[in-house]
Amino acid sequence: MLALAFAAGLLLFVLVWLGSRHDYDFYTAPAGDDPAQDSTLPAPIAPDLAGGSGASGLQVDAAPSTSSPPTDTPGIVQRPAAPVAQPVPTPAPEIATADRTTPVPLSAPTPRYPAQALRGGIDGTVRVRIHVAPDGSVAGNDIESSSGNRLLDRAALETTRRWTFQPATRGGQPVAADVVVPITFQR
């Protein structure tokens, strides 16, 4: 009786496992060789022609010559120092006297592409209306225009809730304002 229950449970497990497998799982290798995949690799770095060393810093040996050995004694070769870029002076922040009608994002992390939408090949643009409080925080947000996919819409809303803004100003004082932000999901 126990062996029969074990066999029935094992059979049920195999049936559920086979039914949940997908051909598009991320860990399966594509069948055949794909020459287009090889073309996405970066080109090798050419050796430094001026100094005769490769990209790794090792000396590149020239073809052996049959002429007489060099008369120079080995030594350390000093390369000229690379020019150092001078920092660009940044102007001191000025007190804004003009009114700013729209909030400016200070911290705007990019949204995570939902895994299910990525596997399904779903792209789209979500336009989110963000209500910015006078302190620069997000008081609320809603969808101005949908991407047509609830996963992309939800990811855009969740991300924009964490944004911070430099608030709009009127008469030099921060005020609440709305701003519409497009968020594009593209593979």
Mean pLDDT of the chain: 75
- In 3D, which of 99, 98, 110 has the Cα closest to residue 181? 110
Average pLDDT over residues 167-179: 91
Average pLDDT over residues 38-64: 51
Res 35: pLDDT = 53
Average pLDDT over residues 26-52: 54
Q: Tens of pLDDT along 93-112?
A: 555 456 788 898 988 888 88
Q: All domains of the chain, ordered by start, with CATH?
A: 104-185 (3.30.2420.10)
Res 47: pLDDT = 53
Three-state DSSP state, 38 = helix
Does 60 score more than 90 pLDDT? no
Among 31-40, 102-111, 133-142, where is mean pLDDT lowest? 31-40
- In 3D, which of 70, 177, 181, 186 has the Cα closest to residue 124? 186
The long-range contacts involving 48-52, CB below 8 angstroms and separated by at least 24 positions, are: 51/77, 51/79
More confident: 149 or 64: 149
Residues 6+ apart with CB under 8 A from 54: 45, 47, 48, 60
Res 118: pLDDT = 86
**What is the pTM assigned to this prediction?**
0.47
Binned at pLDDT 50, 70 and 90, residue 41 comes out as low
Binned at pLDDT 50, 70 and 90, residue 74 comes out as low
Res 175: pLDDT = 93
C-alpha 140/C-alpha 160 separation (Å) is 9
Among 72-81, 146-155, 177-186, where is mean pLDDT lowest? 72-81
